[in-house]
Structure 1
Amino acid sequence: GKGRLLDHLPPERIPGFVDRTKSLGLMVGLSGSLEAPDIPRLLPFAPDFLGFRGALCGHSGRTSSISAEAVSQIRELIPAESGTGGQSSIDYR
């Protein structure tokens, strides 16, 4: 369906979703009209990735091109970690 992730999946249900998905040996991503303020709300749940589209297009909306400035702003909110690929070594919980 349409809409924001946090409108469809309340924050208190996200840990169960993430844990169950990882217990099945799957990577888990969270997406759905995510915005910058959602990053600190979602990182504690330790998803393998966060998915963005509209937030990366700046003020023009999701139908326009991706904005380098918007990408930079979102990236600055996500802590860097060493290594490439694989499961995160950082537990934000």
Structure 2
Amino acid sequence: MVESICRVCGLDEDDERWSRSGGAQYVICSCCGAESGVDDLDLKWVRDYRSKWIAAGCAWFSPEERPADWELDRQMGGLPAAWR
């Protein structure tokens, strides 16, 4: 299965973050700035990165890509249970 959802914030940009074989594609999330294969290797890293990002105010890494109707809770609701 290909993963396209950011494990940290739940944004789905339709980019392949993890391949079918489980290899990271090193995609940087335009929402939280986490890089697949670097910041999301295990649940502890994901939760640490997410906590720091939220504590800093959930600033978008690429603010020009932020949708006008963006809501963190709705976006994170799409996270697979394993990454919550």
TM-score normalized by structure 2? 0.30
Which structure: greater helix fraction? 1
Larger radius of gyration: 1
Which fold has the larger relative contact order, with Cα–Cα distance below 8 Å and residues 6 or more apart in sequence? Answer: 2
Which structure: greater strand fraction? 1
TM-score normalized by structure 1? 0.28
